[in-house]
């Protein structure tokens, strides 16, 4: 795509919006604040009874056998790999269109991440390419539910069953997403969620791991130093000081302060999701007629979580590239982001595995033309209209 530099600040009209609209601010209410204060006044501020309640309520919401609260989705993915015994000599198939954490954890356990390209519409891992990448060393498939749109779990599940592979889902974007009517995380395989500040449900930092009961029993030990019992029970009435280290585990536990936020965020999640969908409908209606913009894909068998609203610029229609578009929106006080710089473009992975930009052409070409618009439960109709006005104004001013 032929490009020209972004327009100078002087060429941009005075923004209609006076204050800057952040890309994805959290929505924290008085209930969360009161719950955190209650925690601070209690005997438990680290992992304790509120963390346990949050695990139980989250599992009930998802329809999962159980849940393990952790300090991040990254911790969940790492814990899952270790718990399943995946390590040196193993291969794990995953996607280049994800945040680095999804792939870093594979490196951490000494396994080899095997990247395959993504689908042109959903930008999820391409199951047909997964099939071609399976070798005798493959131990797991790690799909990422990009932007909140579930990956092709039917085909991935078939491949995993046929080759006796684990499926570890990265559901950092997929709280409240459904695949064929069932919430992501309701199955027996490991699924890791993120509650980072920008997510649909936040605990500031934090995550959750779901899976079958036997897996979670082992994962709970791995996630807390490899201790043979929950740390907080040692200090509870009737608890014993005695414990044993049965594996060299990690310090990945969630605190009750975080869980206090999560308890109320979970109760509000249905309302949060409805608000996100309302903003998405406004965006769709405004941008669908515009030939310079490609809207996010959605397939009929899934319910999108709408963690992200990712626009893609149609090649050849505009005189500016994605970076210029982002800068134009910034000058109009609209915050954006880009999800993601593909894994194979980062120096560590590029150099170690000798990747070229076109090693994964679908991921690379879409990266060059994508941007994520503001989307959160706290976005008002007026905010959404400001985003729409700014996007369409940039398109009008820079059409070829």
Section 174-202 average pLDDT: 98
- Dihedral, CA of residue 7, residue 365, residue 158 and residue 208, to nearest 10: -40
Compute the distance between CA of residue 143 and CA of residue 10 in angstroms, rounded to an integer: 44
Q: Is the pLDDT of residue 152 over 80?
A: yes
pLDDT tens string 207-265: 999 999 999 999 999 999 999 865 556 666 667 778 889 999 999 999 999 999 999 99
pTM: 0.95
Say if CB 339 and CB 23 are below 8 A apart.
no
Res 235: pLDDT: 60
| Res 3: pLDDT | 44
What is the average pLDDT score of the chain?
95
The average pLDDT across 74-82 equals: 98
Separation CA 61–CA 173 (nearest Å): 16
First to last CA, the chain: 12
Q: Mean pLDDT over residues 63-86, rounded? A: 98
So what's the pLDDT on residue 238?
65
Identify the CATH class of 30-266. alpha beta
Which residues are bridge partners to 142 per DSSP? Answer: 94
Domain residue limits, the chain = 30-266, 269-398
User: 269-398: what fold?
Assistant: 3.90.1150
Whether the per-residue pLDDT at 350 is higher than 80: the answer is yes
141, β-bridge pairs: 93, 167
List C-alpha distances in Å: 314 to 184, 289, 353, 359: 31, 13, 31, 22
Q: How far is CA 258 from CA 75, 87, 168, 210, 322, in A?
A: 15, 31, 24, 18, 36
Q: Which residue has the tokens 């498939």?
A: 141
**Adjacency order of strands within the sheet including 370-373:** 293-294, 309-313, 370-373
Compute the distance between CA of residue 185 and CA of residue 175 in angstroms, rounded to an integer: 9
Measured CA to CA, the distance from residue 355 to residue 350 in angstroms comes to: 5
Q: What pLDDT is stored for residue 284 in this prediction?
A: 98
pLDDT digits 0-9 by tens, 293-348 = 999 999 999 999 999 999 999 999 999 999 999 999 999 999 999 999 999 999 99
Provide the annotated active-site residues.
Answer: 199
Tokens of 123: 């930008």
Residue keyed to tokens 């969908």: 277
What tokens were used for 335? 């915050």
Residue 10 has what pLDDT? 43
pLDDT over 70 percentage in the chain: 94
Q: Can you give the pLDDT at residue 16? A: 76
Q: How far is it, in rounded angstroms, from Cα 320 to Cα 399? A: 8
Three-state SS at 214: helix
């Amino acid at each position: 795509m032929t490009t020209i530099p972004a327009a100078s600040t002087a060429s941009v009209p005075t923004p209609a919006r006076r204050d800057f609209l952040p890309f994805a601010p959290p929505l924290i209410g008085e209930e969360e604040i009161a719950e955190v204060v209650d925690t601070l006044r209690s005997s438990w501020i680290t992992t304790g009874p509120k963390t346990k309640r949050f695990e139980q309520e989250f599992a009930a919401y998802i329809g999962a056998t159980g849940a393990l609260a952790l300090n991040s989705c990254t911790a969940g993915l790492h814990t899952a790999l270790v718990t399943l015994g995946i390590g040196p000599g193993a291969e794990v198939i995953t996607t280049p269109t994800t945040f680095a954490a999804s792939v870093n954890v594979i490196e951490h356990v000494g396994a080899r991440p095997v990247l395959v390209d993504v689908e042109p519409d959903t930008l999820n891992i391409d199951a047909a390419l997964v099939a071609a990448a399976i070798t005798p060393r493959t131990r797991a498939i790690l799909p990422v539910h990009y932007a909140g749109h579930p990956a092709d779990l039917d085909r991935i599940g078939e491949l995993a069953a046929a080759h006796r592979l684990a499926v570890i889902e990265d559901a950092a974007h997929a709280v409240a997403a459904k695949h064929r009517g069932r919430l992501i995380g309701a199955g027996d395989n490991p699924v890791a969620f993120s509650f980072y500040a920008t997510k649909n449900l936040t605990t500031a930092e934090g995550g959750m791991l779901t899976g079958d009961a036997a897996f979670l029993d082992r994962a709970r030990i791995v996630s807390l130093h490899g201790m043979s019992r929950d740390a907080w029970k040692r200090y509870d009435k009737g608890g014993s000081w005695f414990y044993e280290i049965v594996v060299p585990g990690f310090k990945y536990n969630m605190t009750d302060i975080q869980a206090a936020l999560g308890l109320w965020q979970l109760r509000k999640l249905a309302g949060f999701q409805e608000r996100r969908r309302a903003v998405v409908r406004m965006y769709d209606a405004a941008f669908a007629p515009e030939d310079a913009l490609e809207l996010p894909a959605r397939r009929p068998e899934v319910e999108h979580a709408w963690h992200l609203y990712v626009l893609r610029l149609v090649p050849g229609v505009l005189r500016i590239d994605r970076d210029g578009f982002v800068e134009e929106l910034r000058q109009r006080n609209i915050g954006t982001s880009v999800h993601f710089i593909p894994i194979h473009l980062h120096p560590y992975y590029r150099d170690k595995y000798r990747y070229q930009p076109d090693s994964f052409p679908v991921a690379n070409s879409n990266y060059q033309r994508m941007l994520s618009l503001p989307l959160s439960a706290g976005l008002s109709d007026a905010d959404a209209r400001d985003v729409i006005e700014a996007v369409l104004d940039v398109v009008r001013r820079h059409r070829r």
